[in-house]
A and B are shown apart, each in its own frame.
Chain A
Amino acid sequence: KAGVTQTPRYLIKTRGQQVTLSCSPISGHRSVSWYQQTPGQGLQFLFEYFSETQRNKGNFPGRFSGRQFSNSRSEMNVSTLELGDSALYLCASSSDPTGLLYEQYFGPGTRLTVT
């Protein structure tokens, strides 16, 4: 099976702009989670979608939003970018319908730089 894919891999944006990141999960996986990884804060959970519904949300401002499509592909949007949004954004998929037991499979990430 193909792994989790994320596009684009690298992105440079200007403060105030918005950005959309895309994630295609492993075929058959209906759970998609998003994380922000920075050197200072480590791995921070953004949100999780399962069957097009947001099942869980981390402590990020409303500028961060996401959605999931019927084919389980997911997008993440960040509006009004700030310098502090520069990070590696990771997407992970799982086959676990409960969200409790199974491991997650991560994509390579999108490196976002805000200038």
Chain B
Amino acid sequence: AQSVAQPEDQVNVAEGNPLTVKCTYSVSGNPYLFWYVQYPNRGLQFLLKYITGDNLVKGSYGFEAEFNKSQTSFHLKKPSALVSDSALYFCAVRPWADSNYQLIWGAGTKLIIKP
């Protein structure tokens, strides 16, 4: 079965430190990968995506993610965390071979940045 895993329910980081939110996937064919963020009481916002090309993708708010095909991972990173980065982060995958065009979502990771 095709799936996305965000192995950590919550990640705690001190402000100014680098942060990583992990995402691994299991899909057939080449994946299209996305990261979204959800702030409290709001809908999701697109951060970045990987479709093809350079494995390192840069997105909004200083975030970046690296596509690692051998490890089937797409971890979200930021060099220096801000308190305002505290939110719920979702990884999503669209299998290239999936004719249903349906996104497969991870369960979400709550990121807490402490001052």
Give every chain B residue within 8 A of A63 (Cβ-Cβ): none
Q: Which of A12-20, A66-74, A79-87, A95-103 lies at the interface?
A: A95-103
Overall SS of chain B's interface = loop
A48 to B42, CA, bound (A): 21
Chain A, Cβ-Cβ closest to B101: A99
Cross-interface CB contact of A55 among B32, B44, B101, cutoff 8 Å:
B101
Give every chain B residue within 8 A of A100 (Cβ-Cβ): 32, 94, 96, 101
Give every chain B residue within 8 A of A42 (Cβ-Cβ): 105-108
Query: Are A108 and B42 neighbours in the complex by a CB distance under 8 Å?
Result: yes
A34 to B105, CA, bound (A): 13
Give every chain A residue within 8 A of B36 (Cβ-Cβ): 106
A45 to B44, CA, bound (A): 14
A98/B102 contact (C-beta < 8 A), A42-B108, A90-B43 known: no
A115 near B: Cβ within 8 Å? no
Give every chain B residue within 8 A of A90 (Cβ-Cβ): 43-44
Query: Are A43 and B108 neighbours in the complex by a CB distance under 8 Å?
Result: yes
Give every chain A residue within 8 A of B44 (Cβ-Cβ): 90, 92, 104, 106
Q: How far is the CB of A91 from chain B (nearest CB, A)?
A: 8
A28 near B: Cβ within 8 Å? no
Give every chain B residue within 8 A of A43 (Cβ-Cβ): 90, 105, 108
30 contacts between A and B (CB under 8 A): A4-B43, A42-B105, A42-B107, A42-B108, A43-B90, A43-B105, A55-B101, A56-B100, A56-B101, A56-B102, A58-B102, A90-B43, A90-B44, A92-B44, A99-B101, A100-B32, A100-B94, A100-B101, A101-B32, A103-B34, A103-B49, A104-B44, A104-B46, A104-B103, A105-B46, A106-B36, A106-B44, A106-B45, A108-B43, A109-B43
Q: Which A residues are closer than 8 A to B by beta carbons?
A: 4, 42-43, 45, 48, 55-56, 58, 90, 92, 98-101, 103-109
Enumerate the 9 nearest inter-chain pairs by beta-carbon distance, A residue then B residue, closest first.
A106-B43, A99-B101, A103-B46, A106-B44, A43-B105, A42-B107, A108-B43, A107-B43, A56-B100
